[in-house]
Amino acid sequence: EAQVTQNPRYLITVTGKKLTVTCSQNMNHEYMSWYRQDPGLGLRQIYYSMNVEVTDKGDVPEGYKVSRKEKRNFPLILESPSPNQTSLYFCASSLGAGGPYEQYFGPGTRLTVT
Amino acid sequence: DQQVKQNSPSLSVQEGRISILNCDYTNSMFDYFLWYKKYPAEGPTFLISISSIKDKNEDGRFTVFLNKSAKHLSLHIVPSQPGDSAVYFCAASADSNYKLTFGKGTLLTVNP
């Protein structure tokens, strides 16, 4: 089954404790992206990757890191999480970037930073 | 600066009637527009899209209209069904970059 998987689905952590949210897709997609969803703010893009070893900032990259060492995986790293990073996070992938390429989203990771 | 705006946070319609969800954009470089639907506890799923060279695209009960001069697009759902109740996001992209910009979403409730 074609899908985007994220782990963990739920995470509660404390300020400053490094964490990684994994994302994997099995569709051989070139493009992958991370979003956060906050009440009243909709979906905002954090980082995206055009291909292996090619990443770029989205609209809200501060406090996050990403890496794309393999085509299928695109982990999101919070080196020192803060309470304002409490949010619902979605990973997405698509065959190409922009234009007509629909993005396939993972089920989401709800992160709480206390 | 919000480049994609969905000014109605919510919309309620009766089953069988038409639902019209609106979206405005400010960036004239946007050349592709997409609508996504999101149910609670799930990721968004693609619904329908339209290129800036078209003014209408239809897929079953869903039709998207684009008015480039007004920088406005709308999603029409006819007839509306209770299963259509979800948050609908409008999104836009420009060929010159690889980002996808979303609006804040509109919660559609279809009452039986």
Over residues B21-31, the pLDDT tens digits come to 999 999 999 99
B107-111 mean pLDDT:
97
Q: Cβ(B51)–Cβ(B32) under 8 Å?
A: yes
A49-59 mean pLDDT:
91
Rounded to whole angstroms, how far apart are CA atoms B25 and B1? Answer: 11
Considering Cα of B24, then A106, then A77, then A52, what sign does the dihedral take? negative
SS3 sequence of B17-40: CCEEEEEEECCCCEEEEEEEEECC
Here the tokens at position A111 are 């992160």
Give me the pLDDT at residue A97, please: 77
Indicate the residue of B36, B45, B51 with minimum beta-carbon distance to A100. Answer: B51
Give me the pLDDT at residue B96, please: 65
Q: Cβ(B91)–Cβ(A103) under 8 Å?
A: no
Strands (E) in chain B, as ranges, are: 4-5, 10-14, 19-25, 30-38, 45-51, 56-59, 62-67, 72-77, 86-94, 100-102, 106-111
Nearest CA in chain A to B31: A99
Give me the pLDDT at residue A46, please: 96
B19-47 mean pLDDT:
95
Over residues B55-107, the pLDDT tens digits come to 999 999 999 999 999 999 999 999 999 999 999 999 999 876 678 899 999 99
Over residues A13-32, the pLDDT tens digits come to 999 999 999 999 999 999 99
Give me the pLDDT at residue B99, please: 82
Using pLDDT thresholds of 50, 70 and 90, give the confidence band for residue A99: confident
Rounded to whole angstroms, how far apart are CA atoms B45 and A4? Answer: 12
Q: Which one, of A53, A62, A52, A114, lies nearest residue A83 by Cα? A: A114
The number of residues making up chain A comes to 114
DSSP string of chain A, one letter each residue: ---EEEE-SEEEE-TT--EEEEEEESS--SEEEEEEEETTTEEEEEEEEEETTEEEE-S--TT-EE--SSTTB--EEESS--GGG-EEEEEEEESSSSTT-PPEE---EEEEE-
Here the tokens at position B79 are 């007839």
Using a CB–CB cutoff of 8 Å, tell me whether B80 touches chain A: no
Give me the pLDDT at residue B2, please: 81
Average predicted confidence (pLDDT) for chain A: 94
CA A42-A37-B59 angle, 5° bins: 60
* CB contact residues (below 8 A), chain A span 38-77, against chain B: 40-45, 48, 50, 56, 58-59
CA-based nearest distance B17→chain A, Å: 26
